[in-house]
């Protein structure tokens, strides 16, 4: 990926802004904390599901993709650990685009339009970073990224 560092730096900066905005929205009482837990944790899980789905779409886990997941979200997965995670939770992660992603964007849009746009932009940037990070975009990666875009509306 020719602009990998630039994309990753852009993601990190906007991710931090997004999480700060989530905290503010939560402090204003505009998030169903009792029902969904902390907003930043809820959306960190969303981002993790998206990254893992995109990483595993082509059937292999590239070290650059894994490093991005770990660096972007503060994880410390090893390749074998991520394989095991996907083996155990792959069905939930695979169905995520069909069931939860659209709900998440709608839910956040109800609370704050600007934050929803930021969330959508971060997800699209994730798609670009992960699909291009191993140097080749496979048909399966492309299909997973297209499914994400479709779910975002």
Q: What is the mean pLDDT of each run of 10 residues along the chain (153 residues)?
A: 74 94 94 93 91 86 87 91 90 81 90 94 88 78 83 77
Of 7, 146, 147, 131, the closest CA to residue 58 belongs to 131
Residue 137 has φ and ψ, to the nearest 5°, of -100, 110
- Residues 56 and 147: beta-carbon distance below 8 Å: no
Cα distances from 2 to residues 21, 64, 88, 129, 133, in angstroms, run: 30, 13, 34, 10, 9
DSSP secondary structure of 92-152: HHHHHHHHTHHHHHHHHHHH-HHHHHHHHHHHHHHHHHHHHTTS---HHHHHHHHHHHHHH
Please state the domain extents for the chain: 4-152
What pLDDT score does 3 carry?
67
What pLDDT score does 1 carry?
42
What pLDDT score does 115 carry?
95
Residue 2 has φ and ψ, to the nearest 5°, of -70, -35
């Amino acid at each position: 990926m020719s602009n990998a560092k630039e994309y990753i730096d852009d993601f990190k900066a906007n991710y931090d802004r997004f999480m700060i905005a989530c905290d503010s929205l939560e402090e204003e009482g505009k998030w169903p904390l009792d029902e969904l837990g902390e907003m930043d944790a809820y959306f960190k899980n969303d981002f993790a599901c998206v990254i893992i789905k995109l990483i595993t779409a082509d059937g292999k886990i590239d070290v650059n993709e894994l490093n991005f997941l770990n660096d972007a979200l503060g994880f410390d997965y090893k390749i074998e650990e991520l394989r095991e995670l996907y083996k155990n939770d792959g069905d939930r992660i695979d169905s995520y685009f069909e069931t939860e992603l659209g709900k998440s964007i709608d839910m956040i849009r109800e609370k704050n339009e600007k934050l929803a746009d930021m969330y959508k932009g971060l997800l699209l940037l994730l798609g670009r970073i992960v699909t291009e990070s191993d140097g080749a975009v496979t048909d399966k990666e492309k299909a997973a990224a297209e499914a994400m875009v479709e779910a975002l509306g």
